Structure 1
Amino acid sequence: MPNNIRDLDPSASPLDYYGSELRRLRESAGLKQAQLGSCIFCTASLIGQIETAKKVPTRDFSERVDAALGTDGVFSRLVGLVLRSQLPTWFQQYAELEAKATYISTYQAQVVYGLLQTEGYARAVLATGMPPRLDDLLAARMERQRILERERPPLSLVILDEAVLHRPIGGWRVMRGQLGHLLGLVDRRWVGIQVLPYAAGEHASLVGSFNLLRFDDDPELVYTEDLISGHMTANPETVREAARRYANLQAAALPEGDSAELISRVMEERYGDQSGSDQHALA
């Protein structure tokens, strides 16, 4: 393991830089891997894996290391970059811009928007792509949600197709938790959730989901995804067309209060207490 550590190139990736800094600051503190592990309640092996960029650190791990080494938040700041680097390459630029946006408007036809997903729901969604490192990808997705906890989070307007509420991703228990989480966001000043009901019939985005990002000083962007990757454009005509369609969707969707009532009704009627049944009975 020591040879692997010496061969680590700090400039190769955020993960490599994190590992090299962890080793450097641990040694500066005069601690062996086992000693640091004892301080932060983990194994020396885990410390070694992170120092050699073989394992992705969590935010909790980073905060504990900062406390143990007195590094003034160095690793808590670095871990955001590390986790973002675990996202698919084609998605990383969008995640960076999403974190800088002042306004996020999204219509979701299939699943709950990533920023509003619970961990169980996100795991089930991500698993469908059969990623090689699901836990790392999940941690990266949950890290994205930290922008909603900022002192001034982006205003996030979310329209969910009613089908999203009924599609039993992860089983009834996960879905009940997910819908409950949406209801818990209703009173947040910076989050607005509307449901586009089946009764709306044909609507302005039958072609699928899309996101609009608005910034204080930069041009607005439209983001869409296909089976393989994502696409962003700041083309003014495309942005105007997307804004027009989003306004039509808002008009066709239920008001926020009625949307919350529908979410609550579906949660109780479709995902009520089924403790005696198999968790994936509805899947």
Structure 2
Amino acid sequence: MGREREIDPRVSAIAQYGYRLRHYRKKANLSQDALGARFGVTGQMIGHIETAKRPTTPEMSKGFDDLFGLDAYFEELWWHVRREQTPSWFRDYVAAEARAASIRLFDPLLIPGLLQTEAYAREVLRAGQPDDKLEQLVAARLARQEILEREEPPWLVFVISEFALRRVVGDPDVMREQYARLLELAERPNITIHVLPDTAPVYPSGALTLFSFNEVPDLGYAEAVRGHGVLIEHRKSIEGLKVEFDLIRSAALSAAASADLIRSLMEGT
């Protein structure tokens, strides 16, 4: 094996994470392969984490703390890594997403990030990104999906345009895997997926999201130029978004008919 690349832990949170992981791994006299085997990943993946090419997960971070006898060090550092990798304009959205008791979302152009496979997300995020940065962006997007696996996950209602479903991202293999993922998620009791057909008599101009919480008022989000947007707190504006979402959902296919359409697209790829 070649000499391990040194990184400067001062340049970023993800560099600090990788530097300290290497330190504690070597202190425990573990190889990258041996550490990876404890967490069901390859030694190469551990190497990518140690060289700041890939972030890890909250579960793995807690596992590192348990293994090395640390008091939530990696678990807390993971949150700094996640925040660092989220564009500043999107951080409030991600924070709301993580706290919401229910989420209603419509996207006219793409399959929503919470539902994307790794391969689909990589193709969506690829344009103009160097490989290292691309992998960090993909991992950050997939980390948001942690809310789907919680013991008490939020209630989720998605309306996806037929255009977004038929739009080929990557290649047929990527789409086939993505369709299968949608069908698997649609079977979960807390997730409902509708498809807005191309013939629907509604013409929404952009993506929108509604966040509801247990003890605080709802928030809205309307996408603007190049995917940028702002959280909306004004009650009247949020009510307007709710009306728009209800109109879109009312024109969409039923959950069962939507699953049938997704299945037919998967079988046709």
TM-score bracket for the superposition, by shorter chain length = 0.7 to 0.9
Match of 2:32 in 1: 37
CA contact (8 A) 2:85 2:137 kept: yes
Matches within 5 A, 1:152-191: 152-191=152-191
Secondary structure in 1 aligned to 2:253? coil
Which amino acid in structure 2 is aligned with residue 242 of structure 1? L
Matches within 5 A, 1:104-115: 104-115=103-114
Change beyond 3 A, Cα 1:90–1:200:
same
Aligned residues: 254
Which amino acid in structure 2 is aligned with residue 268 of structure 1? E
Q: Deviations over 1:40-62 (max 9, x none)?
A: 1547x949x84xx7544323864
In terms of Rg, which structure is larger?
1
Which amino acid in structure 2 is aligned with residue 210 of structure 1? L
* Structure 1: stretches of 5+ with no match in the other structure: 272-283
Q: So what's the TM-score if we normalise by structure 2?
A: 0.82
CA contact (8 A) 2:28 2:68 kept: no
Q: Deviations over 1:142-192 (max 9, x none)?
A: 000010100111111000111111100111111111111111112201100
Match of 1:118 in 2: 117
Match of 2:39 in 1: none
Secondary structure in 2 aligned to 1:104? strand
Secondary structure in 1 aligned to 2:103? strand
1:93 aligns with 2:95: no
C-alpha distance in structure 1 between counterparts of 2:85 and 2:108, whole Å: 25
Change beyond 3 A, Cα 1:234–1:198:
same
Match of 2:266 in 1: 267
Which of 216, 219, 224 aligns to 1:218? It is 216
Shift, 1:127, TM fit: 1.1
CA contact (8 A) 1:83 1:136 kept: no
Percent identity over the alignment is: 35
Secondary structure in 2 aligned to 1:222? strand
* Structure 2: stretches of 5+ with no match in the other structure: 1-5, 37-42
C-alpha distance in structure 2 between counterparts of 1:123 and 1:98, whole Å: 21
CA contact (8 A) 2:208 2:221 kept: yes
1:18 aligns with 2:13: no
Q: Deviations over 1:196-231 (max 9, x none)?
A: 111213x1x521111111111222111122216221
Please, what is the CA RMSD of the aligned residues? 2.9
CA contact (8 A) 1:56 1:82 kept: no
Match of 1:236 in 2: 235
Q: So what's the TM-score if we normalise by structure 1?
A: 0.78
Change beyond 3 A, Cα 1:266–1:54:
closer
